[in-house]
Amino acid sequence: MAHLKIRVYPDPILKKIAAPLTDFGPKSQKLFEDMIETMYLDDGVGLAAPQVGASVRVLIASPTAKPGEEQVIVNPEILEESGREVDQEGCLSVPGLAVKVARAKKIRLRYQDRQGNSHEVLLKDFPARVIQHEMDHLNGILLIDRVPFDERQTLLAGYKVL
Ligand code: NI
């Protein structure tokens, strides 16, 4: 396993739409393992492949933050969503920024696991929020794109990377 470097805003890979993962061979298995290790070492509860420089539709989620309880989610699709809830989020790729983001409260998710088997699950509250945040990364969307324009200017004015 390896501790991968986290890509930070404004790295252009974070704005790309990631491609579906079709190969579940050793190279992808290594990516999953390295992403899991990196997420825990960097104290994240989720990590998307573009954040470590791989533009594929893979994310790791560990809403409990307990090693061993993480899930590898490949090619996720939200089939249904309901409710709306606003809560604070942070992101390893936009360090130091915490913003309130509205997300669906419940989602029905279809995804493939690390072997490529398909599953459908119902998620709600924090686990649903983690998945929605990480799925944004697969579509080139960052936290800063989720706040209203005027708020975004104020947030970015104080953001050192720019
Ligand atoms: Ni993030």
Distances (CA, A) of 38 to 42, 93, 96, 104, 125: 6, 13, 18, 27, 24
Residue 71 lies in a domain: yes
Residues annotated as part of the active site: 134
- The count of domains in the chain is 1
Residue 3 lies in a domain: no
C-alpha 114/C-alpha 156 separation (Å) is 37
Domain that holds residue 123: 12-157
Global pTM? 0.94
What is the whole-number distance in angstroms between the Cα of residue 20 and the centre of ligand 1?
19
Using DSSP, state whether 154 is helix, strand or coil: helix
Taking a 5 Å cut-off on Cβ, the residues next to ion ligand 1 are: 91
Residue 127 lies in a domain: yes
Lowest pLDDT segment from 115-119, 129-133, 145-149: 145-149
23-70 tens-digit pLDDT:
999 999 999 999 999 999 999 999 999 999 999 999 999 999 999 999
What is the whole-number distance in angstroms between the Cα of residue 73 and the centre of ligand 1?
15
What is the whole-number distance in angstroms between the Cα of residue 22 and the centre of ligand 1?
23
What's the CATH number where 136 sits?
3.90.45.10
Q: Please, what is the end-to-end C-alpha distance for the chain in angstroms?
A: 32
